[in-house]
Amino acid sequence: MSDNDDDDGRPAVEAASTSPLDSHHHHDISRTIIRLIQCPLCSHLFCNPVRLPCGNAICRACLPKSYKREGISYPMVEGRAEGFQCPFSAAEEDGRYNGGSDKELGVLRRCGYEHAVGDCGVDVTLSKVVEIVEESVRRFTAIKGREGSVVAEEDEVGSEGLPGGGRFVTAYTLADRGELEYTADVVYSSSVDGDDDSSLVNADDREVLDHIKTAIRNELDCLVCYALMLDPLTTSCGHTFCRTCVARVLDHSNLCPICRRKLPIVTLVDTEPSNARLSQIIQKLFPEQLSARLEASRTEDLGVDISDSSTVPLFICTLSFPSVSTYLHIFEPRYRLMIRRAMQSGSRKFGMVLPNRTGLFQGALGRSPFLRYGTLLHINRFELLPDGRSLISTTGVSKFKVVSYSVLDGYYVGKVERIDDIPLAEEESREASETRTRTITTTTATRPRGEEVNARSIPLDLDRLSTQQLLQLGLDYAEKSREDAAPWLQGRVLAAHGQPPSDAAVFPYWLASVLPIPEEERYALLPVTSVRERLKMTVKWIRMVENKQCDSPSPFHFEFSLFLPFGLSLSYTPLTQAPAAHQQQQHPFTTAPTTPHGQTHRTAPSLGTENAQPMSIPKSIFLSALIALLVERVWTRLSALLRARELRRRQILRREETMRGAEGDNDDNNGREGEGEEVGDIIPLQQPPPQQQEHEQEQEQQQQDDVPERDID
């Protein structure tokens, strides 16, 4: 065997000049299966196989020595504080691969990253496969008593006296002893004379392989769909499922279906490599069942799945974000049809995009009627109203980019590409690179916990802050705003969107859903694929709000319209608006931003600085003033109404007295004098002094203008 070992004594992973692994010779399948359950570092059969994030697998005892990782604060989960360099990272540099083909390398993958200890879990399914193979070999070794084959690595001395049971059992025994190099192939020759030995050996191989296939078949079923695994994906906790099944699980929960351990929802489905060893075992031992499984998967109605690209219905309405709830009232006929089809298909999914109000150019889409980045929503609750309208509650699943679109029955459908975050390894590398030369500690923020978060307490250079510090700034600001009874963070808001999440990947989406900032600022989150960059954006929002640089209206802006015979409106704006210079700042959106429910955006209350304190009026005083103003207006209108009625009554009395005086005059001459006297007697009523008469006419005209005609008898 080869003597080319690593410096630490472990056999090197080398590319020997071997025959193809998928040769038509019967013994090649035996060598292939043995290699799939063999450690590439120690060349022994797997003992507690550990799955690495790069997709390779080694024995737990072969894990390199770990060390404390510097400059890493996200994600703050157990096992990520320590790491090690992937043992396959230098293979390309020292010539171990030698340009070998994938067939020669088996299932090994080149890697150049640092791995966290917490990401390396025992491969549960592969461990069970190894145990089943071991049990099958022991059974056949005990049954078969004749001497086995002479097995030798190519160009090396053979090993004689191995137990019987066929070539598979013989190769297994060599690997179990550590005498079969991982990359080496073997040749077989019988130590028993006679032409019938070859047929006996082949029969033994078929028998042992059939027993292994029967024993491991159930272990290769996915525990979500209960079918043969298709594109098996092993999570960090060590459990394996179909890739599509993992995507479905993550649509509803970020916990493993078996052990309930938290999974990295933002990167798992598309960035994690498949379990190549289990895939090869399925392909070699169950080719017919795998073909039938693939055919069934193609014809199965999987609904909306954007793991790669597909067509989804588009709802042009508002902003939505992953892992955040969105509540919608569906009343337009075209969207009624769209939602009904989504429910009937079983997918319960559709895409949410913003309208392109200003006709901005959207790349390949041109000036499309909507912005090209959106969020895939899953309908959690659907309530159909008697008149055909519906109320739905949804949760964001993932982000996407629309690459093309068309119109179907009045609503838009688009071919979309899913947008996932960068892998955790790259995320950690960015954080370590940006914070390497900083002086701020990486474990906790330098600002004491509970200290007021304002513009002066936020460092100008956000790159110097760790990812955990950026998250803590946002959490502290949300807590401080809740203590100050900020209108944008009251009970009904928390009931709709939940408490501030402690997950750095989700917190920016939550804050964007509740913080009263312009729509274009929130939309900028969708294309960003780095958790750290999104947290930087949230800190900038906090700084902008604290500096009163947000050009949205004040949150303390109330408008009341009372349904009375007269109208009453009241506006209460205790906080000053943003400076005029900032209001002239140009944004991609030129229209006034509104919320999904048509309410005007509100600016968060300033926490103030040393030179300027915010204006604060208790709610009880404000309500008392409002009631007093209302009573005063009602009393004024009622008084005016009573005065107008009294004036009208006096005018009627004057006319009646005048008519009675004219009818009682029988003598023409004396009648004129009597009429003059009578008229003179009522002059104070008909013709008051000029000043009083002018005043009464003005008052009468004013009261008639104020009082509606229906209120006058």
Return the CATH number at 261: 3.30.40.10
Verify that 75 and 161 share a domain, yes or no. yes
DSSP string of 223-259?
TTT-SB-SSEEE-TTS-EEEHHHHHHHHHH-SB-TTT
Angstrom CA distances, 703 to 115, 206, 566, 567, 692, stand at 85, 109, 14, 17, 16
Q: How many CB atoms lie within 10 A of CB 455?
A: 17
How is residue 643 written in tokens? 């005065």
Structure confidence at residue 690 (pLDDT): 56
270, 420 in Cβ contact below 8 A? yes
Confidence of residue 82 (pLDDT cuts 50, 70, 90): confident
Who contacts 574 (Cβ-Cβ below 8 Å, separation ≥6)? 554, 556, 615, 616, 617
Are 196 and 275 in a shared domain? no
404 with 287, same domain: the answer is: no
Residue 376 lies inside a defined structural domain of this protein: yes
Residue 168: per-residue pLDDT = 82
**611 compared with 206, residue with greater pLDDT:** 206
Question: Does 285 map to a domain?
Answer: yes
The residue ranking higher by pLDDT, 692 or 209, is 209
Please indicate, yes or no, if residue 616 is contained in any of the structural domains: no
Confidence band for 23, pLDDT divided at 50, 70 and 90: very low
Query: Which tens digit of pLDDT belongs to each residue from 444-454?
Result: 444 545 455 55
pLDDT of residue 639: 87
Q: For residue 698, what are the contacts with CB-CB under 8 A and spacing of at least 6? A: none
Q: 443 and 379 in one domain?
A: no
Question: What pLDDT is attached to residue 114?
Answer: 83
Same domain for 241 and 167 = no
For position 595, what pLDDT does the model report?
40
Question: Does residue 613 fall inside a structural domain?
Answer: no
Least confident of 254-263, 597-606, 640-649: 597-606
- The number of domains in the chain is 5
Percent of the chain at pLDDT > 70 equals 65
Q: What is the pLDDT of residues 153-203, one digit of tens each?
A: 554 445 555 555 577 888 888 888 888 888 887 776 655 444 445 555 577
- Same-domain pairing of 576 and 469: yes
Q: Is the pLDDT of residue 502 over 70?
A: yes
In a domain, 579, yes or no: yes
β-bridge pairing 149-153 and 349-353: unpaired
Residue at 621 is within a domain: no
- DSSP state string for 588-613: S--SPPB-TTSPBP-PPPP---SS--
Residue 477 lies in a domain: yes
Neighbouring C-beta atoms of residue 381, cutoff 10 Å = 10
| Same domain (yes/no): 685, 699 | yes
How many Å apart are CA 177 and CA 491, to the nearest integer? 66
Question: Which residue, 167, 215, 168, is CA-closest to 189?
Answer: 167
- Domain final position from 216, 250, 276: 216
Q: What pLDDT band is residue 578 in, cutting at 50, 70 and 90?
A: very low
User: Is 7 within a domain?
Assistant: no
pLDDT single digits (tens) 300-341? 654 445 544 578 999 999 999 999 999 999 999 999 999 999
The separation between CA 660 and the C-alpha centre of its own chain, rounded to angstroms, equals 89
The reply to whether 143 and 274 lie within a common domain is: no
Same domain, 70 and 143: yes
Residue 18 class from Cβ within 10 Å (0-12 exposed, 13-18 middle, 19+ buried)?
middle
Domain boundary among the residues 419, 445, 466 is at 419
Q: 561-569: long-range contacts at Cβ-Cβ below 8 A with a sequence spacing of 24 or more?
A: 562/630, 564/634, 565/637, 565/708, 565/711, 566/633, 566/637, 568/630, 568/633
Same domain, 165 and 33: yes
Nearest to 524 by CA among 537, 505, 514, 543: 537
Structure tokens at 119: 């990401």
For residue 692, is pLDDT > 90? Answer: no
| Residues 379-438: tens digit of each pLDDT | 999 999 999 899 999 999 899 999 999 999 999 999 999 998 888 888 888 888 888 765
Q: What is the phi/psi pair of residue 324, to 5°?
A: -120, 140
Which structural domain, as residue segments, surrounds residue 447?
Answer: 424-583
Report the range of poorest mean pLDDT among 28-32, 232-236, 238-242, 529-533. 28-32
The pTM score is 0.63
CA distances, 587 to each of 520, 547, 590 (Å) = 8, 18, 6
CATH of the domain at 394: 2.30.130.40
Contact 82, 65 (CB under 8 A): no
Q: How confident is the model at residue 88 (pLDDT cuts 50, 70, 90)?
A: confident
290 and 339: one domain? no
Same domain, 412 and 453: no
95, amino acid identity: G
Show which of 394, 419, 444 is a domain's final residue. Answer: 419
